[in-house]
């Protein structure tokens, strides 16, 4: 059963377990590839994680002159192939979410590969497997369908239901905390 990463953004408590777990994934060479942001830092403590959303038509791969960013059969947009990346940083400029990181010393881009050594065998990615608040979940399409949908089509809140700038393999939702909906875990 094909599963995908599903984010319920407001569940995030800012513990940064996902960052720490990311460093421990095979092939990540102990550097994390995701972000956690304070939403309104001078006012409250709400945080939200931001990771690669694995676009169906990824701008990073389209802008790569060396074909270094490959798309896996599971839909994951992989990190740059180390022998191919020529260090032009086109991908960092193309990405609509500012995800790819660049190492100047190694002349190499690296980004979330959805822990491909795990997810290709159906094991959840490191970030989802450690998230203590169910912000990051690893679900089938059916399970995502069954999540209570919120009417978010008000121009203020945007999620990937249906789409962001383009279709993404990672799905994003808001459980409604910001909208004042009480959430029962």
Binder among 2, 45, 93, 140 for another protein (CB under 8 A) = 93
Contacts of 150 (CB under 8 A, 6+ apart): 173, 174, 175, 176, 179, 181
| Contact between 163 and another protein per CB under 8 A | no
Binder among 63, 129, 133, 134 for another protein (CB under 8 A) = 63
Q: Are 34 and 148 in contact (CB under 8 A)?
A: no
Q: What is the DSSP string of 120-152?
A: TTTPPPHHHHH-TTSSEEEEEHHHHHHSPP---
| Contact between 151 and another protein per CB under 8 A | no
Binder among 107, 140, 146, 149 for another protein (CB under 8 A) = 107
Report the helix count and the strand count for the chain, using DSSP H and E. 6, 7
| Contact between 130 and another protein per CB under 8 A | no
Candidate segments 88-96, 128-136, 137-145, binder of another protein by CB under 8 A: 88-96
User: Residue 21 Cβ, how far from another protein at the closest point, in Å?
Assistant: 8
User: Residue 139 Cβ, how far from another protein at the closest point, in Å?
Assistant: 19
CA distance 18 to 33: 10
CA distance 1 to 117: 17
Note the residues at the interface with another protein (CB under 8 A). Answer: 9-10, 16, 19-20, 22-32, 35-42, 46, 48, 50, 57, 59, 62-67, 82-84, 86-90, 92-99, 105-108, 116-117, 156-159, 164-166, 172, 174, 178
């Amino acid at each position: 059963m094909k599963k995908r990463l599903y984010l319920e953004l407001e569940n995030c408590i800012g513990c940064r377990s996902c960052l720490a777990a990311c460093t421990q994934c095979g092939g990540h060479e102990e550097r994390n590839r995701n972000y956690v942001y304070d939403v309104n830092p001078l006012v409250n403590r709400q945080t939200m994680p931001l990771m690669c959303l694995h676009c169906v038509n990824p701008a990073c791969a389209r802008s790569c002159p060396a074909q270094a960013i490959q798309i896996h059969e599971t839909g994951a947009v992989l990190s740059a192939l180390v022998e191919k990346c020529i260090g032009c940083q086109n991908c960092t400029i193309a990405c609509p979410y500012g995800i790819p990181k660049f190492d100047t010393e190694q002349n190499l881009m690296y980004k979330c590969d959805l822990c491909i050594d795990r997810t290709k065998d159906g094991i959840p990615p490191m970030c989802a497997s450690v998230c203590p608040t169910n912000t990051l979940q690893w679900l089938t399409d059916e399970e995502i369908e069954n999540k209570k949908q919120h009417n978010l089509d008000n121009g203020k809140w945007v999620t990937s239901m249906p789409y962001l700038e383009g279709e993404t393999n990672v799905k994003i939702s808001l459980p409604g905390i910001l909208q004042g909906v009480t959430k029962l875990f």
